[in-house]
């Protein structure tokens, strides 16, 4: 056995968990392989102890190199103290995608590897996959036992500027430290996930909207008192939606927490806002009518030139449009709406909600103000009867 094989043997022995019930058996088999006079298949023989498949020797060497790197990542980076066998199965199932069959591996280790696949590798908290699973579970539990719970979506303010100014490695450090702060502040039963990019989401069992808002304020206080966050002026915005007093499906909860998050962004950032239940008096219809819009009483920093777009949906009470300009909540726009009969109506629309899309696009919900009876009838004539 050469020095490289000796190192592999020692690494395998040191990495098999003390809690592994099969540890003694594995150690005996490792020693048997190491004692062979012909070691041309040393790496592949060692690997066959853990996964029921055969490999060429050179391929097995590469796998061991990657497995040990993966093991060190979990131990040193994520502080996730797990055994070598679980790491091997996670490597082949989730990283290498060699197999997804629990027949090939032991079923309890397969389940443990699945659990590890729900951890975000950068921050060490749960990932989007875990969020989707737990949201459904909590929603079902809340329905069954008539419990309320809240969803909180959080976004780091001005994160692009942080990356551009200090670099992406610093941005990664911000994400890790913020995830750690969320872990410190939350309860054991809360589910903390990285939703994607600089967005995080919290599932808070048996927590009202006001209780979620109180947690949001503790998060803000933690940022303001933490030396790292204070030095770099790092703040967050958050949106809250709750069950059952408002939103009753998973889609509604996510959409309206997201909508409240963007309302917080448009309200000046560094705040948490509870999603408001929208009791629409009228149904919205998907109609693409041409619209010319212009801001009423623009400031010197705002563009006062007319713009053109189409409605995404419309009712006799309001409309939804998508445009490039950034406006604020409660801003009022003069709207000239082209009707299907080539007629036009001019009306004032107030921005009641806003959402930023990718790039410079924004979606706005507009409420019509001072709608005259003849205008109402004109719009109604092109909509289905209610």
Judging by DSSP bridges, how do beta strands 236-243 and 272-274 pair with one another? parallel
Q: Show the CA angle centred on residue 175, arms to residues 232 and 121, nearest 5°.
A: 155
Q: Is 198 a catalytic residue?
A: yes
Torsion of CA 176, 178, 182, 185, to 10 degrees: 120
SS3 322: strand
SS (H, E, C) 58-123: HHHHHHHHHHHHHHHHHHHHCCCCCCHHHHHHHHHHHHCCCCCCCCCCCHHHHHHHHHHCCECCCC
Q: How far is CA 363 from CA 70, 80, 112, 131, 289, in A?
A: 43, 42, 42, 26, 16
Q: Which long-range contacts (CB under 8 A, 24 or more apart) does 178-187 make?
A: 178/229, 178/234, 178/236, 179/120, 179/123, 179/124, 179/125, 181/219, 181/222, 181/223, 181/226, 181/229, 182/125, 182/219, 183/125, 184/222, 185/215, 185/218, 185/219, 185/222, 186/215
Between CA 113 and CA 121 the distance in angstroms is 14
Of residues 296, 318, 307, the one with CA closest to residue 360: 307
What b/e readout covers 36-63, taking b as 16+ CB neighbours within 10 angstroms? Answer: eeeeebbbbbbbbbbbeeebeeeebbeb
Helix (H/G/I), strand (E/B), else coil: 270: coil
Question: What is the DSSP-derived secondary structure letter of residue 218?
Answer: H
Given 138, 198, 206, 377, the catalytic residue? 198
| DSSP bridge pairs for 167 | none
Q: Give the pair of three-digit tokens for residue 60.
A: 């097995």
Q: Which residues are catalytic?
A: 198
């Amino acid at each position: 056995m050469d020095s490289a094989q000796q190192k592999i043997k020692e690494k395998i022995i040191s990495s098999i968990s003390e809690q592994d019930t099969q540890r003694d058996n594995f150690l005996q088999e490792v020693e048997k392989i190491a004692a062979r006079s012909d070691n041309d298949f040393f790496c592949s023989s060692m690997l066959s102890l853990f996964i029921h498949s055969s490999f060429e020797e050179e391929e097995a060497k590469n796998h061991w190199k990657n497995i040990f790197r993966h093991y060190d990542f979990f131990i040193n980076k994520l502080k996730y103290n797990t055994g070598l066998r679980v790491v091997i199965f996670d490597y082949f199932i989730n990283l290498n995608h060699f197999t997804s069959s629990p027949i090939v591996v032991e079923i309890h280790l397969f389940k443990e590897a699945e659990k590890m696949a729900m951890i975000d590798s950068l921050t060490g908290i749960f990932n989007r996959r875990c969020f989707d699973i737990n949201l459904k579970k909590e929603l079902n539990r809340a329905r069954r036992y008539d419990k309320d719970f809240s969803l909180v979506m959080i976004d780091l303010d001005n994160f692009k500027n942080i990356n551009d100014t200090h670099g992406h490695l610093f941005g990664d450090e911000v994400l890790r430290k913020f995830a750690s702060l969320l872990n410190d502040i939350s309860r054991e039963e809360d589910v903390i996930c990285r939703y994607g990019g600089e967005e995080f989401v919290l599932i808070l069992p048996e927590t009202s909207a006001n209780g979620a808002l109180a947690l949001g304020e503790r998060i803000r206080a933690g940022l303001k008192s933490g030396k790292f966050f204070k030095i770099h002026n790092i703040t967050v915005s958050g949106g809250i939606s709750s069950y059952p007093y408002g939103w009753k499906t998973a889609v509604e909860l996510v959409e309206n927490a997201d909508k409240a998050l963007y309302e917080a962004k448009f309200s000046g950032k560094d705040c948490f806002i509870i999603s408001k239940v929208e009791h629409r008096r009228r149904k919205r219809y998907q109609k693409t009518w041409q619209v010319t819009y212009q801001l009423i009483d623009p400031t010197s920093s705002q563009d006062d030139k007319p713009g053109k777009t189409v409605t995404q949906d419309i009712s006799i009470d309001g409309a939804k449009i998508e445009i490039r300009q950034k406006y604020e909540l409660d801003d009022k726009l003069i709207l000239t709406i082209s009707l299907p009969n080539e007629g036009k109506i001019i009306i004032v629309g107030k921005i009641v909600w806003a959402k930023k899309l990718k790039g410079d696009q924004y979606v706005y919900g507009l409420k019509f103000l001072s709608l005259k009876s003849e205008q109402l009838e004109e719009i109604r004539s092109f909509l289905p009867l209610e």
